[in-house]
Amino acid sequence: MRILISLLAFCAGLWLAPAPLAAQEGGVQAILQQHREAVASGSRRGVEPAIDALKASGLDQAREVLEVWQARELYQRAADGLFFFTAPEGDGFRLRDIDTGADAGFAGKAEMTQLRPSGGVRGLIGAALVAFRLLDPDPEDRRTALAALSRSPEAGHLEPLRDAVAAETDPALRRDMERLERALTISFDRDERARIEAIRFFEGDTGLDARAALAPLVATKRGAAVSAPEGANIARMLEPGDDLTAEEAWALLVEAGLAPARVTKADIRAALEANIEGGAAGGVPVRDLGSDAARERAYAALAAAGRAQPTVTDAEARAILSEHVFFERYAESSPAITEAAEAALASITFRVGAMQAADLTLDALSLASIYFLAAIGLAITFGVMRVINMAHGEFIMMGAYTGYVVQLFVPDYTISILVALPLAFAVTFGAGVAMERLVIRWLYHRPLETLLATFGISIALQQLAKNIFGTQARPLTAPGWLDGALVFNDIVAISYIRIAIFVMALVFLALLVFVLNRTRLGLEVRAVTQNPGMAASMGIDPDRINMLTFGLGSGIAGVAGVAIGLFAQVTSELGQGYIVQSFMTVVVGGVGNIFGALAGATLIGFLQKGIEWFNPSNTLAAQTYMILFIILFIQFRPKGIIALKGRAAGD
């Protein structure tokens, strides 16, 4: 009786104990066991239901099983057919349960069979994994999965992507998913109507992904046939001599198997060398084969004897060409698809052209703002004092180096720039006043001597900068909030630094207009500009005004140097790159006029960018053409766009 009770208890224990390795209800092991034979055999058709069942199960373990299976790291135990995760250990494997992740013991290598999915099965697994990754709870994981999918899309990804679009709650991510779904629909969907709707979705879209999806639909390939192929999507018919050369047409016939390859001189020589018998080839002695006519005669004899490929004469070639048709055929078989794609690409081309024009305009405005900042100080000094200051570029360089020195002591880039702007103005203002008092004041009304003196000062300042800062470029780092660019789309973008310089140019324009029109200093500057003698008779000191004006122009150049140094290399030659453009800006705009400098900078900026657009690979040519244009412009309008008014206009 005791033995019977113990036996019953043992059986009950076996019945009640959980089976950690058995195919439990609802687990991934149970799903794989239902399709065990198909999974083990690796049949694509048989495996597909198992993968679909794993995908539809909603189990967290299903994704890991698919990933391990795809990586060929899923094993099956031969004894009971159960599947396990494994880790190498000694002469076998440490097993891990695929449902619970619990340790499942040890098995020798002979006991386990590795699942090696074929390429087709791996594709099915990959498509199923796409569904899991696109439905991941973490938005960043979904975004990463979408990026990976866009790099290597396949037809099997379309349906999982559509399911993900329907379930997505993040608006930005959903928009990206929809774009990719439309692109995959164009490439892989079999429904013509759905593909046309997807094509129309991209009409006027300037994104690179849109053009990449549409371009294959209008790709063509040349072909030849006896008559136009029925049912083919023909782009256009080609005429030999007009649309393609006779050689190209013959190559198409050879490719289509409609004509033999033309025999070349090299072919003739090779055939003759291979058929030399008794000192002759084709009945012609070898010693007589020195001319083309003799070689062709010998080759013809070989061809007649069936020992060489017959030649095709030019007359025969023309006759054969006339008996065939040549065409360009779309790779896409549906005419409705190619028609919709061409319409969409035409709208995209128009919009891209408009966006390129807008981008070119932004670039030109950005360049004009830089030239305006560089030239505005020169416009003041040259307009009021008639002094040709060849050292103006060095004041720009001094301002840039001032910003660099400030950043050595103020590590916060935002604060350092705010400190550097007024400090650069003060430093270059003082340098300008010193230069005017020590040199310029003694050379008024002597333009040649002024030019030579300021040119010498320019060289001296450059050498001084090299002695202090060295010849290597020094960094003038922009604040972090100026990093990057304002991107409107794949075509139109402008860096935040350029935007800041543009805003700075507008601020300086407003400040100078206010100073010159609303302050006593501005009134005196305008008086000295228009009539120095009359201004002196009214109690205005022209020497003092000249000194302050030169200092003001130099100070503005220093501020421009800080702005330019944010995107250009700060070296001792920094100012030399802007001195010519500054003088051109002043002369073209109109001497002594702030708005003239603005007009001149705008004209030169747009002109330079326009020339560079026509000839982007040669910036030196752009500079040359620009100078030639300005020379011609001055011939017709010597006083500039906005001419100076008053008595000084005749000076």
Residue 283, both tokens: 């009945």
Whose tokens are 């097993």? That residue is 95
Number of Cα atoms under 13 Å in the Cβ half of residue 401: 25
Residue 128, in any domain of the structure: no
Q: Residue 617 — pLDDT band, cuts 50, 70, 90? A: low
Instruction: Say whether pLDDT at 339 is over 80.
Output: yes
Q: Which residue has the tokens 């006027």?
A: 204
Per-residue confidence at 344, pLDDT binned at 50, 70, 90? very high
**pLDDT of 579:** 85
Residue 11 has a pLDDT of 42
Q: In the predicted model, what is the mean pLDDT of residues 419-438? A: 93
Assess if residue 429 is contained within a domain.
yes
Q: Where are the beta strands (DSSP E) in 164-213?
A: none
Both 148 and 111 in one domain: the answer is no
> Which of residues 218, 249, 283 is at a domain's end?
218
Check whether residue 169 and residue 63 sit in a common domain: no
Q: Please tell me whether residues 405 and 510 are part of one structural domain.
A: yes
Beta pairing partners, 114 = 75
Mean pLDDT on 250-258? 90
- Residue 524 and residue 481 share a domain: yes
- DSSP code for 203: T
Q: How confident is the model at residue 5 (pLDDT cuts 50, 70, 90)?
A: very low
Q: What is the per-residue pLDDT across 71-99, written as a single tens digit (0 to 9) for each?
A: 888 888 988 889 998 888 888 888 998 88
**What average pLDDT does this structure show over 412-418?**
90
Residue 558: its pLDDT value, please? 92
pTM for this prediction: 0.67
Same domain for 51 and 85, yes or no, is yes
Do 171 and 107 share a structural domain? no
- Which residue range forms the structural domain that includes residue 145? 135-218
For residue 469, being part of any structural domain is answered with yes
Mean pLDDT of 224-240: 88
Which of 218, 248, 281 is the endpoint of a domain?
Answer: 218
Amino acid 124 reads L
Mean pLDDT calculated for residue range 607-631: 78
Structural domain includes residue 602 = no
* Distance of alpha carbon 175 from alpha carbon 195, whole angstroms: 18
Show which of 167, 190, 218 is a domain's final residue.
Answer: 218
pLDDT of residue 19: 36
Q: What percent of the chain lies above the pLDDT cut of 90? A: 22
Give the gyration radius of the chain's Cα atoms: 41
Instruction: Please determine, for residue 622, whether its predicted confidence score (pLDDT) is greater than 80.
Output: no
d(C-alpha 577, C-alpha 570), whole Å: 12
Q: Is 135 exposed, middle or buried (0-12, 13-18, 19+ CB in 10 A)?
A: middle
Whether 10 has a pLDDT exceeding 70, the answer reads no
437-477 pLDDT per residue, tens: 999 888 887 888 888 999 999 999 999 999 999 888 888 88
* CB 390, CB 365: distance < 8 Å: no
Residues 473 and 559 in one domain: yes
CA–CA distance from 173 to each of 76, 168, 169, 322, 490 (Å)? 39, 7, 8, 57, 18
Dihedral sign, Cα of residue 611, residue 614, residue 617, residue 618: negative
Instruction: Verify that 98 and 180 share a domain, yes or no.
Output: no
Query: Is residue 329 situated within a structural domain?
Result: no
pLDDT, the chain, mean: 84
Element of type H or E holding 85: strand 83-89
Same domain, 537 and 401: yes
pLDDT at 26: 58
Residue 647 has pLDDT above 60, yes or no: no
Considering the domain architecture, whether residues 499 and 556 belong to the same structural domain is answered as yes
Q: Are residues 161 and 117 in the same domain?
A: no
- pLDDT band for 343, please (50, 70, 90 cuts): very high
**Is residue 42 situated within a structural domain?**
yes
pLDDT tens figures, 488-520: 877 888 888 889 888 988 988 888 888 888 888
pLDDT digits (tens, 9 = 90+) for 119-157: 888 878 877 877 788 888 888 888 888 888 888 888 878
203-228 average pLDDT score: 89
User: CA 411 to CA 406: how far, in whole Å?
Assistant: 9
Residue 194 has pLDDT above 90, yes or no: yes
Mean pLDDT confidence for 46-65:
81
Using the predicted structure, report yes or no on whether residue 549 has a pLDDT greater than 80.
yes
Percent with pLDDT over 70 in the chain: 93
298 belongs to a structural domain: no
Split into its structural domains, the chain has a count of: 3
Is 90 exceeded by the pLDDT of residue 200? Answer: yes
Examine residue 512 and state whether it is found in any structural domain, yes or no.
Answer: yes
Residues 607/510, Cβ–Cβ less than 8 Å: no
Using one digit for the tens of pLDDT, what is the confidence trace for 373-413?
888 888 877 766 778 888 999 999 999 999 999 999 998 98
Q: Are residues 491 and 560 in the same domain?
A: yes
Cα–Cα distance measured from residue 361 to residue 607, given in angstroms and rounded to the nearest whole number: 11
Q: In this structure, which amino acid lies at residue 202? A: F
Q: Give the Cα separation of 651 and 531 in Å (integer).
A: 10
What integer pLDDT is reported at residue 618 of this predicted model?
64
Q: What is the C-alpha to C-alpha distance for residues 267 and 102, in angstroms, rounded to an integer?
A: 73
